[in-house]
Amino acid sequence: MHGISMIQYKSAEAIEKVRRSCLIVSDALTRVAELLKPGVSGIEIDSAAEEVIRDHGAIPGFKGYNGFPSTLCVSVNEAVVHGIPSQDVFEDGDIVSVDCGSLFDGYYGDAAYTFAIGDVEKEVMQLLEVTKTSLYRAIDQAIEGQRLGDIGYAVQSFCERDYPYSVVRELVGHGIGEKLHEAPEVPNYGKRGRGIKLKEGLVIAIEPMVNLGRKHVAQAKDGWTIRTKDRKASAHYEHSVAVGKLKADILSDHSGIEEAIKNNANLKEISLKN
């Protein structure tokens, strides 16, 4: 999905445009959180998300991108990312990663959330909580003067050293703006103090993808879906952020999603780890 060139630093005005697009994505994901339950299909949440995006006067950022057929990437259980929404219905105990993009006023927005439907196994719930926490640990590093490796290290050290999980190596976060995927690539692994120095005006999508089992992944026959090779669960959370002088500015917003989860008896809340 990546076509990457030179880093484009953004003006304050451009950052606001990315934020507006990200908030449309957040609204679409909130709608998904309202609808998700056993018996609902990927196609149903996909069409609801597309409706939200178009109602805002935006267009789906993923649909048609390199030939991708849908508004959402819907990745269930051992699917890591890039799952194509289908008629298959979600079941009690499933985890569902939903990744969404929009294009509004010339700028892209991008965010993702992994939902827990019904009675999800305890060890899988912990994976979700650790992955979500690692996202915010990574965002804490997105400040001027830090390096790109500090972001990856924050995810990897927490998920692989403090917990027995595996960070996916082949898939990474990315710059975002007038293109969905811009420079730089933002890995979820790395060494502190390595990589480019972060500067104000850099806008990146940070998106930990973390496996319950081993790190190895493979592409499914559909040419899109990436699955864990050992078929164990995988979690994925994403925010688009602007690097700041003292702290990162999170341009997408999970709070509406989390409120909808609270109000949906079919979903389990994903808390953060200490």
Cβ–Cβ under 8 Å, residues 258 and 129: no
Give the pLDDT score at 147. 97
Q: Is residue 4 included in any domain, yes or no?
A: no
- The answer to whether residue 5 sits within a structural domain is no
Q: Does any domain span residue 263?
A: yes
**In-domain check, residue 3:** no
Label each residue of the chain as H, E or C: CCCCCCECCCCHHHHHHHHHHHHHHHHHHHHHHHHCCCCCEHHHHHHHHHHHHHHCCCEECCCCHHHCCCCEEEEECCEEECCCCCCCECCCCCEEEEEEEEEECCEEEEEEEEEEECCCCHHHHHHHHHHHHHHHHHHCCCECCCEHHHHHHHHHHHHHHCCCCEECCCCCEEECCCCCCEEEEECCCCCCCCCCECCCCCEEEECCEEECCCCCEEECCCCCCEEECCCCCEEECEEEEECECCCCEECCCCHHHHHHHHCCCCEECCCCCC
| Residue 1 in domain | no
Is residue 274 domain-resident?
Answer: no
C-alpha 196/C-alpha 49 separation (Å) is 35
Query: Could you tell me if 238 and 81 are in contact, meaning their C-beta atoms sit under 8 angstroms apart?
Result: no
pLDDT reported for residue 55:
98
pLDDT value at position 5? 61
Per-residue pLDDT of the chain (274 residues; tens, 9 = 90+): 444 468 999 999 999 999 999 999 999 999 999 999 999 999 999 999 999 999 999 999 999 999 999 999 999 999 999 999 999 999 999 999 999 999 999 999 999 999 999 999 999 999 999 999 999 999 999 999 999 999 999 999 999 999 999 999 999 999 999 999 999 999 999 999 999 999 999 999 999 999 999 999 999 999 999 999 999 999 999 999 999 999 999 999 999 999 999 999 999 999 999 7
pLDDT at 4: 44
- Structural domain that includes position 102: 12-268
The torsion angles phi and psi of 132, rounded to 5 degrees, stand at: -60, -45
CATH number, domain of 120, equals: 3.90.230.10
Structural domains of the chain, count? 1
d(CA 2, CA 66): 9
Residue 121 included in any domain: yes
CB neighbourhood size of 258 (10 A): 16
pLDDT of residue 2: 47
In a domain, 6, yes or no: no
Considering all CA atoms of the chain, what is the largest pairwise distance in Å, rounded to the nearest integer? 48
